[in-house]
Structure 1
C-alpha cells in the first residue's frame, strides 16, 4: 500500500482526520502493516501492547472473561485505553485472520498530547463520543436552517409597556417602533395586544383609549428562548395556531418578537401550507387532500439531516390537527363536548413518524349513552384508514367497543388491569398510560389519569412486573451478535422498546403526565430519579436508534415494501455501526438499572 493510500485510508477514519498534515505524516512514518492468524491474542490483562491497532481486513473480538462484549471490523481501531492507562481488563483476540496497521505507542501518545481534538475523542465520556460521531455522520446532511437558532432569524424589537400604561400611550409607542404588536409586562410575565385585538376589544366595544393596557391584553404571551432551535419555534407556532412568539433570554427578559412569516422564510418545506390547509378544510375530502403531503415533509426533513425528535414533534402536531378536525367533521356538535378522542401508544408519545398503525380510543362522560357514538367511531376508523393510517393489528381502535366507553367503565377496566394482571393487561395499561387527548373534553382523560395514579399507590409488586417488560427482548452486546447471514435486526425490540418501556415504568411510578419519552427523561432527571449522565446517554441513544429506524422505514417505502422495524446491518457504514454499538451499551446498562430499581429479580 503506497503512502498516498495509507494517508487516504487514515483520513477516512475518525478521529485521524483532525490531525494536521505534519502529524499525519509522522503517524504514517511510525506505522507498519502486520498480520495475525485466527485466535492470536493481541491484548490481555497480562499482555499490554506497544501498538495502537487499526484494522485493514479481518475481525477482532473483545472478551470480558468468556463473554464477547465487542467486535471490531475494517477501519475499526483499538485499544486506546490499554496504551493510555497501561492496563486492560479485557482480552482482544483475532476472530478472523487479521491484517492491520500498528501505530507505535510513543507516537500515539504524542498525538494525544499535541492534538486536543484527537485526545478528546479517546478520553471523552460515552455521551460526547456519540455526539462527536453523530456530528461527523450527519454534518454533510445538515442544512443551515437545521442548526439555526432563534437568534439567527429576524427578531423584531419589542414594544414593551407596563401593565398600567394608558392604551393611547402604548399605541403611540408601537408606532415609534413601527410594529402592530404591543407587549405588556405584568410582574414576571408578559401579555400581548395585536391589531385584531384592538378592533375586537376597543373599536367594537366602544372603549376609551385612556384605559390601562392590562384590561385588554392577553396573558400569557407564548415565548421561546433566544438560543432555542428555530425548528422548535416553528413547532410552537404550529401547535398553538399563533402568528408570533416572544423571544426571551435565559433570565426570562424580553428580547424581541419572532414572527411566523420570518420563521417560514428559513424553511424550505411546505409544513406551513399543510397546516393552513388542514385548518381550512371543511369536508373530509378536503382534509384528506390536506394531509397527503405529510410523508413528503418527512422525507424532506430527513434528507436535510433534521433530528428525528424534531421531525416526530412536528409531524405529531400535524397529525393531531388532522384527528381534531376529523372529529369535528364526523361527530355531531352536540356529542363532541361529552367525549374525548385520544391517541395512545407511539402516537400518544408523539413518536410515530411513518404511519404504521392506529392506536386510538374514545372516553365518554359517565351517564351518557355510549351507543350513540358507535357509528361515528366506526366512521372515524374507516376514514383514518382511507387517509393512510393503517388499522391496528391488535384492534386497538376507537371502532372497537373495548376502546369506546365511559369514564366509569374505563376506571373498572384499569382496576382489573392492576388487580388481575397478565401480559395483555400490562400491554393495555402501557398503551393507555401513553394516551394523549386530541379532541373533545380533555378533562375526562385527566380524571382517568388521576384515578390510575391513585390506584397504583404502594403497588410495588405490580410496578415490578410492569417494568419487567423492559427486559423482554435481548439487546446485542456486540455487533457480532447480529452481523449474521440474516443481515437484519429488529431495532424496535432490541433498542427502542427497552428505552420506551423502562422510562414509561419510571414515569408511571412517579405520576408523570408527560407522554413523550424525551420529555419524560428530562423530567426524571429534574426529579433526581435519573442521574444527568444516564439521562444524557439515553437521550443520545434514543436519537441514534430512532434515526436508524426512520432511515429503514423510508427505504422500505422507496422500495414499495411493507414498513417494518428491521434494519439491514450489513448496509450500515462504519460510523453508523459505531453509533449502534455505543447505543446498545447504553440500553444494556439501562436495563440493569431498571432491574435494580424495581427489584425485578425478586419477582422472577
Structure 2
C-alpha cells in the first residue's frame, strides 16, 4: 500500500498532528483509462492526489491541465463546491482521496497550507497550469513574511481632529487610512468612512474620535503574508494595521499584498531602479532565477515567461551599463542583446550574447571603450551569465564597432555568404536594444534591408540552414533518439526549435518585418498572407510546447546540479508528452517543407 508523501507542497507545511489526520483519512482508489473522476457541476467531495497514472482536466474536448505523480486536483471545486470541467483518466490511475471536510479544516487551522489553496483559486488556469511545483521556490513565496513587503508608514491624527483635517491629511500624505489616537487607544479612519459621514449627515467639523474604529484588525510584522491576506478576506477589509511588539508600525493595503503574490516581478524592477552598486545587483539577478522557477511551477507558459525574463534582464543589463559606462558613452552608443535573448525567447541563463554600436562621433577612443566593455562582461559573469564560448560579446572587437564599421560588416555578411557570415548575421538579425541611443540600431537595420534588396542569392543561402538538422521523427511517427553511454536522447533545439526560429527569421528578413520575437513574426506573417493561417497556428503551438518542454527539463537538470541543455530523454516523458512531442515535430516537418518550397531549396 502506498504511503502518503508529505514532502510535496502544500502537505509539507502540515504539523505532525495535521499529518496524522491526513494519513488516517487518506483512502486509495483506482480508475481505469478513460474513466471519469469528476464531472462538470458534480459536487466535489474529495481532493485527489495522483499516486500513479495521468488525469486530464477537460473543457469539453480541450485539455486544459494534466495531473501526474504527486499532483492534486481540484482545489477550485473544493472551494466552489463543483468544477466547470471534466476530469478524466488518460493513463490508468491510482489516486489518494482526502475528504473535503478535512481539507477545509486544514485551511482553517494552517495559514501556510491555506495560502496554497487561496492562490490556486485566484489564478487563471492554462494548459500547463498544474505542472509540478518546484518546492523550494514555492515555499519561499508561501512563507514570505509581512516585513518583506514595504507597508505604508502610518499617519496619525489626534481624536479631536475633524473630518476636514482627515481629508487634508489623506491628500497631503497620499494615503487611504489614518490612525487616530484618543484616550490611550488607537483607532483607524479610512476613505470608506467618508461615505458613512455623508450618509449620516455629519459635517466636516465632527471629531474623528466619534467616527474612528478602535477595534483594530492587526497582523504582526513577522506573520505570514498569506495570513494577512486571509485576515483581510475573513473580515472583509482592505487593509490591516501592522504591529511590532504590539505597537502600530505600518498599514498593509490589500492591493500591495496582492501585487506581491500576483506579480512578484514588480519588486525586482523596483530593486533594480534603487540599486546603486554592481555587487547589489547580484542578488537581484538571482531573484530573476527564482521568479522563473515560481512562475513556471504555477503554469506560466514559456513564451510569456520568456518575454517577462527579457524585460527584467534588459532592465538588469541597462542598470549595470549605467553603473559602468560614463554618460558620454551611454549617449553615443547602443547596447543590444542578440540571439534568443534579443528575440525574447531565452528563459534560463546560458551565456552572454550582446554587442555595442558606437556612434561615429563618440568622444571616447575605442581603447577606452574596450576597457569599459570588458568591465561590463565581467559584471554579467558575476550575475550568472558566463562568457559566450563563441565570443559573441561586446568585450570582443568583432562585436563592438562604430556605426560605419557595423555597416561595412553587414555588407560583408550579406554579400560574402560564408558560413560564419550566415551565422553572425542570424545572431545579429534578432538584436534588441536595451540601453543608450536606440536609433543607432535602427540605422544598422536600415542598412541591412537596403543590402538585402540588392542581393538575389542571399535568402537562398540564408534559409538553407533550416534543413541543416534532421527532424527526429520516423516514418511511422516514432521519435528518433541518439544513444550515447547507454542513454537515448534527442535534441529539442536542432530537431525542432531552430528550424522554426530560423525559418521565421528568414521570412521576417525577406519581408522587412521589424519584429524580432518568433511568435510576433508568426502573427504578422500570417496577417500579411505570407504563411498559411493554419500552419502559423500550428507552428505557434508547436514552438510553445517545445520551449516549455525544454524549460521543464532544464529546471529539472538545474535542480540536481546539472547544466540545462537541449537534450531530453524521451523515455522519461509521459505518454501524453511523447504524443505531443510527435505532433510538434510533425508540424516542424510541414514548416520545413514550406520553407524549402518558398526559398527553392531543393530536396529535404
TM range (shorter): 0.5 to 0.7
Kindly state the Cα deviation for residue 486 of structure 1 after the two structures are TM-superposed: 2.7
Aligned equivalent of 1:434: 430
Aligned equivalent of 1:420: 416
Contact 2:310 2:346 (8 Å CA) reproduced: yes
Distance 1:17 1:517, change over 3 A: farther
- Residue deviations 1:531-567 (CA, integer Å, cap 9, x gap): 2211110110011111110011111111101221111
Q: Per the alignment, in what secondary structure is the counterpart of residue 293 of structure 1?
A: helix
Distance 1:333 1:579, change over 3 A: same
Structure possessing the higher relative contact order (Cα contacts under 8 Å, 6 or more residues apart): 1
Structure 2 length normalisation: TM-score? 0.59
How far apart, in 1, do the equivalents of 2:122 and 2:514 lie?
32
Q: Does 1:554 align with 2:555?
A: yes
Superposition pairs for residues 452-467 of structure 1, below 5 Å? 452-467=448-463
Aligned equivalent of 1:349: 343
Aligned equivalent of 1:329: 323
Kindly state the Cα deviation for residue 473 of structure 1 after the two structures are TM-superposed: 0.9
Contact 2:410 2:425 (8 Å CA) reproduced: yes
Contact 2:480 2:490 (8 Å CA) reproduced: no
Aligned equivalent of 1:284: 278
- Residue deviations 1:48-70 (CA, integer Å, cap 9, x gap): xxxxxxxxxxxxxxxxxxxxxxx
Aligned equivalent of 1:393: 389
Q: Per the alignment, in what secondary structure is the counterpart of residue 351 of structure 1?
A: coil
Kindly state the Cα deviation for residue 11 of structure 1 after the two structures are TM-superposed: 2.9
Kindly state the Cα deviation for residue 9 of structure 1 after the two structures are TM-superposed: 2.7
How far apart, in 2, do the equivalents of 1:511 and 1:263 lie?
45
Aligned equivalent of 2:490: 489
Aligned equivalent of 2:443: 447
How far apart, in 2, do the equivalents of 1:338 and 1:346 lie?
26
RMSD (Å) for aligned C-alpha atoms = 3.3
Kindly state the Cα deviation for residue 290 of structure 1 after the two structures are TM-superposed: 2.0
Q: Per the alignment, in what secondary structure is the counterpart of residue 386 of structure 2?
A: coil
Kindly state the Cα deviation for residue 140 of structure 1 after the two structures are TM-superposed: 6.4
Kindly state the Cα deviation for residue 439 of structure 1 after the two structures are TM-superposed: 0.4
Kindly state the Cα deviation for residue 447 of structure 1 after the two structures are TM-superposed: 0.6
How far apart, in 2, do the equivalents of 1:17 and 1:575 lie?
18
Q: Per the alignment, in what secondary structure is the counterpart of residue 340 of structure 2?
A: helix
Distance 1:581 1:6, change over 3 A: farther
2:124 is aligned, of 120, 129, 147, to 147
Aligned equivalent of 2:304: 310
- Residue deviations 1:210-240 (CA, integer Å, cap 9, x gap): xxxxxxxxxxxxxxxxxxxxxxxxxxxxxxx
Aligned equivalent of 1:574: 575
Structure 2: runs of 5 or more not aligned: 1-27, 41-52, 74-118, 127-169, 176-252
Aligned equivalent of 2:542: 541
How far apart, in 2, do the equivalents of 1:467 and 1:134 lie?
36
Aligned equivalent of 1:358: 352
Aligned equivalent of 1:405: 401
1:340 is aligned, of 334, 346, 351, to 334
Kindly state the Cα deviation for residue 270 of structure 1 after the two structures are TM-superposed: 3.0
Superposition pairs for residues 167-182 of structure 1, below 5 Å? none
Superposition pairs for residues 7-18 of structure 1, below 5 Å? 8-11=31-34
Kindly state the Cα deviation for residue 265 of structure 1 after the two structures are TM-superposed: 3.3
Contact 1:488 1:569 (8 Å CA) reproduced: yes
How far apart, in 1, do the equivalents of 2:463 and 2:67 lie?
34
Superposition pairs for residues 589-604 of structure 1, below 5 Å? 589-601=590-602
Contact 2:522 2:540 (8 Å CA) reproduced: yes
How far apart, in 1, do the equivalents of 2:579 and 2:64 lie?
10
Alignment length, in residue pairs?
388
Q: Per the alignment, in what secondary structure is the counterpart of residue 481 of structure 1?
A: coil
Distance 1:19 1:296, change over 3 A: closer
How far apart, in 1, do the equivalents of 2:353 and 2:121 lie?
36
How far apart, in 2, do the equivalents of 1:493 and 1:387 lie?
28
Kindly state the Cα deviation for residue 367 of structure 1 after the two structures are TM-superposed: 3.8
Distance 1:476 1:366, change over 3 A: same
Q: Per the alignment, in what secondary structure is the counterpart of residue 321 of structure 2?
A: helix
Kindly state the Cα deviation for residue 260 of structure 1 after the two structures are TM-superposed: 12
Structure 1 length normalisation: TM-score? 0.59
How far apart, in 1, do the equivalents of 2:396 and 2:467 lie?
30
